[in-house]
């Protein structure tokens, strides 16, 4: 899809690099520019990981890329970065506000020098704020943590950097729209997203409910404020757990049929079920405790009730029909996606990329490599 396009990635952690990986999946060539110490996530190993191996966190967003090491504080290295930007179709950046302008890598300067360039930037709070904005902080300030967890316990952050992921998808969509516009006009543009904007836009029904009632969401565990039983987790006789996502009265009646629970008159409407949530869930749980999970799942599926087993991430990945991770890369992509190489070693492509994509001579490239290695 994007074969022949050059992407220069001046972004770290998860949001910006995820966009680079999306574009690599679609066929673009992605050159990741890193500082001498590398993207900070190269050091984010789980306790069970070998610290000498590529960190799984870094791997999550850096398949299919080439790594170039440039210390942008060095004049010649900064010139090399600008030369890459001049050749690029897309540039992804996550600079702190003002830092890009000091380097001459701000959107305005880049578009003057390369009018067809699409500059895609991601920040924590927007270009007008100099606050640092890691995902967990955005979860706290966007309302997500306040409504996540249980009412008798402190707020809990989500176990995935979801605000980074949401922002990455927003930015990817902006880039693809800008590419379509460039086909028509021949001109690039600046597209941008903040983690906070992405998070607030994802409040969805919780946001609209707050605006409608003036009451912010309360922590309810897995329960849904508008629907019941939705998010209800039933533990079966074999110890396995099944989650219900009942969205209609017909589906609720099917759950009762599968569990052999009489439908109480006060449960026949969603409003009644929401009011009587605790009693309802207790009745369903008592019935599920006497049924094996396979039997219950078969009954729910037969009746068309949305329900699923509680699986850990390893189970979910093993069952994915689309992706298989292997030491040499990713295999079994859907049609239209290309196979990706493994995450690159730090600086593995510096010499090759600078020789191919800049007008720097061999001596200048050798100097950059010497000055931009971690041991220099």
H/E run at residue 241: strand 241-245
With a CB cutoff of 8 Å and minimum separation 6, the contacts of 250 are none
What are the residue numbers of the active site?
Answer: 164
Task: Tell me the C-alpha distance between 64 and 200, whole Å.
Answer: 31
With a CB cutoff of 8 Å and minimum separation 6, the contacts of 360 are 76, 79, 80, 83, 354, 368
With a CB cutoff of 8 Å and minimum separation 6, the contacts of 275 are 266
**DSSP symbol at 313:** H
Task: Tell me the C-alpha distance between 176 and 295, whole Å.
Answer: 46
Q: Are strands 230-235 and 307-309 parallel, antiparallel or unpaired?
A: unpaired
> Can you give the C-alpha Rg of the chain in angstroms?
25
Q: Count the Cβ atoms, other than its own, within 10 Å of residue 376.
A: 9
Phi and psi of 352, rounded to 5°? -60, -50
CA dihedral sign of residues 136, 73, 19, 313: negative
Of 115, 224, 118, 227, the residue nearest 176 (C-alpha): 118
Q: Per the omega criterion (within 30 degrees of 0), is the bond before 45 cis?
A: no
């Amino acid at each position: 899809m994007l074969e022949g396009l050059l992407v220069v990635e001046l972004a770290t952690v998860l949001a910006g690099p995820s966009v680079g990986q999306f574009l690599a999946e679609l066929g673009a060539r992605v050159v990741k520019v890193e500082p001498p110490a590398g993207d900070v996530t190269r050091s984010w190993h789980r306790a069970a990981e070998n610290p000498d191996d590529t960190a799984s966190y870094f791997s999550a967003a850096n398949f299919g890329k080439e790594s170039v090491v440039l210390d942008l504080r060095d004049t010649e290295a900064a010139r090399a970065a600008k030369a890459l930007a001049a050749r690029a179709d897309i540039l992804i950046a996550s600079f702190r506000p003002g830092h890009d302008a000091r380097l001459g890598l701000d959107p305005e300067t880049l578009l003057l020098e390369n009018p067809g360039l699409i500059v895609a930037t991601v920040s924590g709070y927007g270009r007008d704020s100099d606050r640092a904005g890691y995902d967990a902080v955005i979860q706290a300030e966007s309302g997500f943590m306040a409504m996540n967890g249980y009412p008798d316990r402190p707020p809990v952050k989500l176990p995935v950097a979801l605000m980074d992921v949401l922002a990455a998808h927003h930015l990817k969509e902006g880039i693809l729209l800008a590419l379509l516009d460039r086909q028509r006009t021949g001109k690039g543009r600046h597209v941008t997203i903040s983690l906070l904007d992405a998070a607030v836009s994802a409040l969805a029904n919780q946001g609209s409910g707050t605006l409608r009632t003036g009451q912010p969401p309360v922590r309810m565990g897995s329960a849904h404020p508008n629907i019941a039983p939705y998010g209800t987790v039933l533990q079966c006789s074999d110890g396995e757990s099944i989650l219900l996502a009942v969205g209609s009265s017909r589906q609720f009646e099917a759950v009762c049929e599968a569990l052999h629970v009489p439908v109480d008159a006060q449960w026949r409407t969603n409003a009644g079920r929401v009011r009587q949530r605790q009693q309802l869930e207790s009745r369903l749980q008592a019935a599920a405790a006497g049924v094996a999970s396979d039997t219950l799942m078969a009954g729910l599926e037969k009746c068309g009730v949305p329900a699923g087993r509680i699986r850990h991430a390893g189970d979910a990945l093993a069952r994915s029909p689309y992706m298989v991770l292997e030491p040499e890369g990713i295999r079994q992509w859907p049609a239209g996606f290309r196979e990706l190489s493994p995450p690159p070693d730090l600086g593995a492509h510096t010499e090759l990329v600078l020789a191919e994509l800049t007008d720097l001579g061999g001596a200048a490239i050798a100097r950059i490599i010497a000055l931009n290695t971690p041991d220099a």
